[in-house]
Every structure is written in structure tokens, then in C-alpha cells.
Amino acid sequence: MQHRVAGIDVGGDKKKCNLVILQGDQVLLSVGKQTPADLRRHCLEYEVMAVGVDAPCQWRLGDAGRVAEAMLAKQRISSFSTPTRAQALASLSGFYGWMFNGEAVYQALADDFALLETPAWNGQRICFETFPHAIVCAFLGREVACARRKSTQRKQLLQTLGIATATLKSVDARDAALCAVTARYLLQGQARAYGDALGGHIHVPKLDQHIVMAS
DNA sequence: AGGTACTCGTTGGCGCCTGG
DNA sequence: CCAGGCGCCAACGAGTACCT
């Protein structure tokens, strides 16, 4: 029997969080507008082993950016750079609201799903940071991954992976599903960790070769 | 009416090109 | 030979357009 895994797409205060729970290719649960406490409750109810979260697990600490983001950037996988907590608080645009919600998610999960601080799974119930665009790059290759077409491309990728997308209505649900898929790969030892202990790791599936989808 | 799809604004780091 | 300017592009959210 396969471990149950979860993926969380973190939104702002209005959209809140999307949660998808998978067992193998089966979607056991797909819900939106969840608070951090809701997420914890569902993951406990379904006896989830690993939770992939689409939000930074740590703020930047000093002047230099997080190592994980720098490593992704070196591979030309773009991401929004995480500021220090003080910088995020000082921003007036509200742009970083979702990162603060992510912080609350990790706090809500922490007691039952400890943040994975090593590159590989340690056998415990865990949560970890992941990132949909990097996941798509891992499956399809960086040249193919394109955020402009993400709504159709990510849906098609999930279908190619054998996951029924009928219950994954929104882009956010599909992103959460990709995070859950990454959790499954991580438990199977088929994941790559970007980053270091200080700035935190970003986990992404590791494949021998890219998937080619019909266009 | 509701859903889907697309654009724009926000932020910061890297690649690339050019000029001194 | 290196500094600096420009373009690109992740995430979300708000707004708009179009379709059923």
C-alpha cells in the first residue's frame, strides 16, 4: 500500500489554500479556501505521510538570497526571490501576503509534520517546500515549461502522469496536485533537493529523462 | 450567471549585450 | 575586461473579455 501524500497551494487572504491528497494516482481529496488549521486537520484525518507546500519555508536571512533560489536560477528556473521577513513586512503593495500565509501553514503543520531539513526523506511524517514551475521543469524540461500556458500545460502533465483532473478544477488545485506528486516522488527517493540547511531546501522530482507530451 | 482565458502590476536576480 | 542597463520570468490578485 502506498503512502498518502498531500500538496498545498498557498494563496492570499481571499483565496486561502488549496489542498489535494493523493494515494497513488487516486485523488482522495481536493478542496479550496482552507485555513492552515483546516489543512492540518485534513492531513491528520487522511493519515498523510508527506506534505508538499508551494511557499517559502524560510525567509531570507541576510543580504544574500536563499541558496535554493540561487541554485534554481543558475539552472535558469526563475522564481520570486524571498525577502527577509522585515522587508516583507515593510512592503506596502501586499505582494508578500501569500508568503505570510505560507509561514502560517508551516507553523500549523509543524507539530505533526516536521519540516524536512535534510535532502532525503527521514522516514517521519514531514512537510517540505516545493515549487510548481520547478516541478514542471523537472518533468518536461526548462525549455518546454512555460508559465504563460500553465493552465493547460499543467493539466496535461497531470493527465500524462495518470492523475484524473476531473476534480482538479482550478489552476490552484492542479498546482496543489503537482506538489502532492512531488511528495510521492520524495518518499520513493526520487527527488532532488535544492538549497542548504541554513536557507532551507526546495524539493523537486528527479527523473531519468523528461516526459514528452503531445502538443 | 458562471466558467474559462488572458493581461497587467508587483519584486528581484540572472543572462546578455554594449560601452568605456 | 568588467560595469551597467535592459529584458525575462517566476507567484498571486484584480480586472477584462469571451464562451456556454
**Residue at A115: amino acid letter:** L
Using CA atoms, how far apart are residues A28 and A80, in angstroms rounded to an integer? 31
Q: Which nucleotide is nearest to A152 (CA to C1')?
A: B5
Using CA atoms, how far apart are residues A115 and A196, in angstroms rounded to an integer? 13
Residue A203's pLDDT band, with cuts at 50, 70 and 90, is very high
Angle between helices A150-160 and A132-140 (to 10 degrees): 60
A78 touches strand B (CB under 7 A): yes
- The answer to whether the beta carbons of residues A188 and A135 sit under 8 Å apart is no
Q: Give A56-113 pLDDT, tens digit per residue.
A: 999 998 888 899 999 998 888 989 999 999 999 988 888 899 999 999 999 999 999 9
Grid cell, residue A205, equals 522530482
A70 touches strand B (CB under 7 A): yes
SS3 A197: coil
Q: How far is CA A176 from the centre of its chain?
A: 7
> Residue A104: is it exposed, middle or buried by C-beta count within 10 angstroms (0-12/13-18/19+)?
middle
Statement: residue A150 has pLDDT above 90:
no
Q: Give A174-199 pLDDT, tens digit per residue.
A: 999 999 999 999 999 999 999 999 99
Instruction: For strands A114-115 and A126-129, give the pairing.
Output: parallel
Q: Which nucleotide is nearest to A95 (CA to C1')?
A: B10
State which protein residues have CB closer than 7 Å to strand C: A 9-15, 54, 78-80, 95, 97-98, 131-133, 145-148, 150, 172, 175
Nearest protein residue to nucleotide B11, judged by CA and C1' positions: A80
Residue A209's pLDDT band, with cuts at 50, 70 and 90, is confident
Q: Which nucleotide is nearest to A172 (CA to C1')?
A: C12
pLDDT value, residue A204:
94
Which class does domain A4-205 fall in?
alpha beta
Angle between helices A171-187 and A132-140 (to 10 degrees): 70
A97: number of Cβ within 10 Å: 16
Statement: residue A215 has pLDDT above 60:
no
Nearest protein residue to nucleotide C10, judged by CA and C1' positions: A79
Q: What percent of chain A has pLDDT over 70?
A: 97
- The answer to whether the beta carbons of residues A118 and A132 sit under 8 Å apart is no
A87 touches strand B (CB under 7 A): yes
In Å, what is the separation between the CA of A54 and the C1' of B1?
A: 32
In Å, what is the separation between the CA of A131 and the C1' of B12?
A: 17
A89 touches strand B (CB under 7 A): no
- CA separation (Å) from A137 to A147, A152, A160, A176? 10, 15, 15, 16
Using CA atoms, how far apart are residues A213 and A178, in angstroms rounded to an integer? 16
Q: What are phi and psi of A194, to 5 degrees?
A: -95, 145
- The answer to whether the beta carbons of residues A16 and A62 sit under 8 Å apart is no
Stated pTM of the model: 0.93
Using CA atoms, how far apart are residues A82 and A105, in angstroms rounded to an integer? 16
